[in-house]
């Protein structure tokens, strides 16, 4: 399996004195010997350049994905806690049943 993770810069877009350079990150997955594969391309950041040479990097956050992953994380955490509590209480209850 060939996995390539690359960050590409696009063509600079000029607005007034300002230059904006978009950055994108692509993940390529390709199985050798098989034609085809998967490409996941997403925006990473934009670089804003001022005429005096100052650069400002503005990261692009995928809020929807972050919230979705957060929900998944919370759910997994709660399930793990419940499972651990049950695992801890199981021998005590088993003893009570036997007695």
Contact footprint for other proteins (CB under 8 A) = 6, 8-10, 13, 15-16, 18, 20, 22-24, 26, 28, 34-43, 46, 48, 56, 58-64, 67-68, 71-72, 74-75, 78-79, 82, 86, 90, 93-94, 97
Shortest Å, Cβ 79 to other proteins: 7
Question: How far apart are the two ends of the chain, measured CA to CA in Å?
Answer: 58
CB 7 within 8 A of CB 24: yes
The Cα angle at residue 10 between residues 52 and 45, in degrees rounded to 5: 70
Shortest Å, Cβ 77 to other proteins: 11
Shortest Å, Cβ 97 to other proteins: 6
Record the tokens describing residue 38, joined without a space: 């998967």
């Amino acid at each position: 399996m060939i996995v390539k993770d690359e960050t590409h810069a696009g063509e600079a877009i000029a607005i007034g004195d300002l230059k904006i350079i978009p950055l994108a990150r692509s993940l390529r997955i390709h199985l050798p010997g098989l034609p085809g594969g998967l490409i996941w391309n997403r925006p990473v950041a934009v670089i804003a350049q001022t005429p005096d040479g100052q650069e400002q990097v503005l990261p692009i956050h995928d809020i929807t994905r972050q919230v979705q992953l957060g929900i998944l994380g919370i759910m997994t955490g709660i399930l793990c806690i419940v499972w651990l509590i049950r695992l801890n209480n199981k021998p005590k209850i088993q003893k009570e049943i036997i007695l």
